[in-house]
Amino acid sequence: MAASSERSPPPFPDSEEPELLEDSDEGADAFTGTSISEMDSPSPDSTRPPKDIFNEPLEDIFSDPLSNVNSEPQKKVDTKIPSPSSDEAVDLFSDPLDDDSEVISSPEVQNPMPDLLNEPVQAPKSDLLSEPPVSSVKKAASAELFGDEDEEDLFKEPPKVVTKKPQPSGPPVDVFTEVKSDVKVKPQVKDDPTDLFAEEALTAPAPKPSASSSSSRTNGVHSDEHDLFSEATVELSLDSPRNDRKKKDAVKPSVSAPAAPVASSSSKAPSKTLEELEEEESEDTFDLNISVTNPEKVGDGMNAYMAYKVSTQTSLTMFHSKTFTVRRRFSDFLGLYEKLSEKHLQNGYIVPPPPEKSILGMTKVKVGKEDPSSAEFVERRRAALERYLQRVVSHPSLLQDPDVREFLEKEELPRAVSTQALSGAGFLKMLNKATDAVSKMTIKMNEQDVWFDEKIQDVENEEQHMRKLHVMVESLVNHRKELSGNTAVFAKSVAMLGSSEDNTALSRALSQLAEVEDRIEQLHQEQAANDFFTFSELLADYIRLLGAVKGCFDQRMKAWQRWQDAENMLQKKREVEAKLLWANKPDKLQQAKDEIAEWEAKVTQYEREFERISATVRKEVIRFDKEKARDFKRQIIKYLESLLNSQQQLIKYWEAFLPEAKAIA
Amino acid sequence: MMVGAFLSHSLHPSYLHLQRSDASSNHEHLSSVLTSLCVSPQQEGLDDGPDFLSEEDRGPRAVNVDLQTDATLQVDISDALSERDKVKFTVHTKSTLPNFKQNEFSVVRQHEEFIWLHDSFVESEEYAGYIIPPAPPRPDFDASREKLQKLGEGEGSMTKEEFTKMKQELEAEYLAIFKKTVAMHEVFLCRVAAHPVLRKDLNFHVFLEYNQDLSVRGKNKKEKLEDFFKNVVKSADGVLVAGVKDVDDFFEHEKTFLLEYHNRVKDSSAKSDRMIRSHKSAADDINRIASTLYTLGTQDSTDLCKFFLKVSELFEKTRKIEARVAADEDLKLADLLKYYLRESQAAKDLLYRRGRALVDYENANKALDKARAKNKDVLQAETTQQVCCQKFEKISESAKQELIDFKTRRVAAFRKNLVELAELELKHAKGNLQLLQSCLGVLKGDT
């Protein structure tokens, strides 16, 4: 620990303190704590440590962009050291995962040294760093398990994990209160989290993560995690998030009263934080390769369908084996999306949308034998499905979903029924969509959050431009194909001209020219394919994804609407009470008071839910933006490289032709 | 040049260029471009002009024909002016021939006058044994003009950048067509001036020297109808004549060759046009992609937006190169093929005339035999036979040399253009490659 801490964030007081001993202690604490917590309230305890760890990295990432950091300057100073290292959040994250895994084994053994060693090597950068503070926090938490837990929970809810930082500073409660004061919206917990996150992000102590991770792992291993997710044990980072989530889920129902909300919030918050952490980690260390291959037509006539081979290669322990293959048909992919969006959309997650159904394209495939356009259609769909699955599993919280695992692993899936466009279920879905659209029109949200206000506008604009760009790239693809076809025709024509030319040298040169044009035709064709698969499909994907982002915004708006409705209802109930008071009807007064209390609770709950979904959506959007930037850069560079390659080939062809032309006598 | 100087509305390419960069230019400017556009091919220096033509184009205009340069008679088109419905060419002549009053002079000619000159050659019996240089095609700016006009109407519906860009493109296209038209008219004159027999033609001298309007009117409907029937008769006759086995192996071979060659060059020319058109469309797409990427990039100031801006910049440059590739292919390949399409038609016409003469000669022989058998009108038949024989022999004699020359010219022109084409393609591909490499270097350095 010490070594690691020193390397990454030299000026780390917190990290130094925990050091090796602390790590080991932490592990011990964590264990004890977990056991205790389990006794008391197993879910929160187990969840907490992992949450912290996870939260930290997440926070860091998020906080950087947001620049929310306000509170706890002290910690920041300490922690800030790591931040510089954390330039590449993604990379760092991956590293941390590795560290964590290593750490896990170590914590159990209680050998801090190995962890430290691993850490520096793997992830010296920063995200990892953030984790360490968590560990320290955890230690504190372990000491005061219950109290800490509550605090953590509160913090976790809104911004996910901020709590950790406060812990290092000393009394978690104080920290929280401070945070709250900072935050405008949520007096209690929500505001704090943002602050905390910011702080954490700044601090992000490198050495700590190992300890924290170890502790979390240990916790997970020892506690419920195994039960819940057998997989969890293997990969610390991933597992812990899963566990947390599960725990959270379990906890969530409990939330109702103001006091309870903390716990509930904590449970939810941790899940989020975990997810975030997972995301980060997954980006970096992501060890899950999915490929969709071998499209195969099954059956005949209009009942025929295409089945794809979905192969997964992974070292993630959540899966039963390292490599496995299943066959899935298109509607299975759609079914997966249905399941995922049903579960996660309402929480504000961006669920990657699958490629659209294409009745025309598929009918062609069904009817046509082997014509090139249907082959292209199949390949296009295959590639789109592959990208879709990759996006799903790269989302930390979606990866944890049992349906995803089932989809990847299970031999036989129940046939997805509701995906058929013309089925009764499809009709119902259309109805729902229509009502959604109507309600969207009617909800006039008074946007308080400037960030959301701008972001929603940005996404709208971006989608519009992307659509425009997509149309143009499609047109380029078409023109390039046309060019390719015309070049081929011209090449043939020149070959004919060459054959009828009676000057030998000129005739030869013309047939050489025909050959050059033939090759160029190939080149154009390849380039058109590149235009399409690397550029156009990227845009199509992101147009769909932006739609999903907008869906998240809508979910948030719905939550807001619920909250506002409850607020109005409460207002009405209060008026009734006032009237009753005035009318002096004590018998009904009690009932009115009860109703007010009920609605007050509801308002608090809905408000909290709104805050939660806002925080989630925000994180999701930030994650999405990051991924988008990465995707676009990667794909466009790839595209430019394909262009470069074309030009190189072109030069080769013409260089070969030039002497032929000069040889004409 | 002189004409250009006289006309206040005339636009020198550099002037046009200047105006183009003026973003605030409006409808009136557009129409002024439409009404008159003056180009002086000699010194228009394509370097200051639009980028759609390569520098190579600056050399001698007669790119498609290999002409012996002869200092005794040099003809070029020094200036041209496009008006709403006609193009005025300034034909500039330098000559030491005694039948010209001066050594150097210029006249203004229109497309119809070129056609008149060409037709006078074709109609003259005297030149039946020569390949008449093909007439230049009618200037056709309608499509381009229409587009410009539409752009003017749609000005309000697009952004200023888009408008400026579109306008630039259309003006460049317009200018390109204009220059090509001028070049083709010039090639015709140069071919005539280089021809050992045709250069001495009186009509040609009048065309070059007479500094008034030649009052050539376009053909009226009746004449056009007559032309049409003549053509029908001619092609029917052509089929008949072509079916006659030639006594001379050389001509027999040339006949089969030209028939096939003409069809194939026609095909290639059409195909190359299509190829180039789709290439241009692709370049246009890249252009539009670049501007959309630019708008995407200016949405925000994130990393990704900067990335988009760089890519947009790259595409903006590559599309220029791509457009140049298309323009150069047009110039070096499509125009070459088109010219030889017309030239091979002219050669075919020559063979037709010879074949006609041969058939006439054979018929005259038969008539003479008949007359001798009947001993009736023998003298008349003998005279006719003599005339036909002389005509046929005269055509054959000059036609042989003409066809050999045609082949030499063709080979040389193809060589020149194909070499230039390959060099230009290489140049553009290398430029493109360099752009991509440097851009990729920057982008990768950033990420």
Residue contacts between A and B (CB atoms, under 8 Å):
157
Of B282, B285, B415, the CB nearest to A664: B415
pLDDT at A53: 42
Confidence (pLDDT) at A93: 40
Q: Does B292 touch chain A (CB under 8 A)?
A: yes
**pLDDT tops 90 at residue B124:** no
Query: What is the pLDDT at residue B69?
Result: 56
Query: A390 CA to chain B: closest CA distance, Å?
Result: 22
The CA-atom distances, in angstroms, between B223 and each of B137, B220, B227 are 19, 5, 6
DSSP letter string, B283-339:
HHHHHHHHHHHHHHHTS--SHHHHHHHHHHHHHHHHHHHHHHHHHHHIIIIIHHHHH
| Percent with pLDDT over 90 in chain B | 21
pTM over cut 0.80 = no
How far apart CA A495 and CA A515 sit, in angstroms, is 8
Q: Please tell me the predicted confidence (pLDDT) of residue B242.
A: 67
Tracing tokens 């140069």 back to the chain, one arrives at: B190
Confidence grade of residue A516 (pLDDT, cut at 50, 70, 90): very high
pLDDT digits (tens, 9 = 90+) for B262-273: 999 999 999 999
Which residues in chain B are contacts of A657 at CB distance < 8 A? 422
| A contacts of B279 (beta carbons < 8 Å) | 483
B274 interfaces chain A, CB cutoff of 8 Å: yes
Asked if B307 is an interface residue toward chain A (Cβ–Cβ < 8 A), one would say yes
Residue to mutate among B299, B301, B304, with most A CBs inside 10 A, is B304
- Most confident stretch, A444-448, A552-556, A652-656, B323-327: A652-656
| Test the A interface: residue of B158, B252, B264 with most A CBs within 10 Å | B264
Q: Per-residue pLDDT for A255 more than 70?
A: no
Q: Is the pLDDT of residue B349 over 60?
A: yes
Q: Tell me: the pLDDT tens digits for B71-95?
A: 678 888 888 887 777 788 999 988 8
> Residue A656: its chain B contacts at CB < 8 A?
none
- Give Cα B110 to chain centroid, integer Å: 15
| Of the partner residues B267, B302, B443, the one whose CB lies closest to the CB of residue A493 | B267
Contact of A525 with A569, CB cutoff 8 Å: no
- Separation CA A164–CA A216 (nearest Å): 13
Q: According to the model, what pLDDT value does residue B339 have?
A: 92
Percent of chain B with pLDDT over 70: 80
CB contact under 8 A, B289 and A461: no
List Cβ neighbours of A18 (8 Å cut-off, separation of 6 or more).
A1, A5, A25, A26, A132, A135, A136, A139, A207, A208, A211
Asked whether A357 and A249 are in contact (CB, 8 A), the reply is no
d(CA B183, CA B170): 20
Q: Which CATH architecture has domain B237-446?
A: Up-down Bundle (1.20)
Q: Spell out the domain ranges in chain B.
A: 237-446
pLDDT in tens, A266-282: 333 344 444 444 444 44
CA A609 to centroid of chain Cα atoms: 20
CB-nearest to B430 from A496, A637, A651 is A651
| Alpha-carbon gap, residue B337 to B269, rounded angstroms | 5
Name chain B contacts of A640, Cβ cutoff 8 Å. Answer: 311, 314, 436, 439-440, 443
Say if the Cβ atoms of A654 and B293 lie within 8 Å: no
Strand order in the sheet with A305-314: A288-298, A305-314, A323-329
**CB proximity B300 to A under 8 Å:** yes
Eight-state DSSP code of residue A414: P
pLDDT score of B29 more than 80 = no
Q: Which H or E run contains A512?
A: helix A504-530
Q: Which pLDDT score, from 0 to 100, does residue B446 have? A: 65
B297/chain A closest Cα distance in angstroms: 10
Residue of A nearest to B427 (CA): A651
Which candidate from A465, A493, A501 shows the least CB-CB separation from B271? A493
Rounded distance, CA A217 to CA A135, Å? Answer: 11
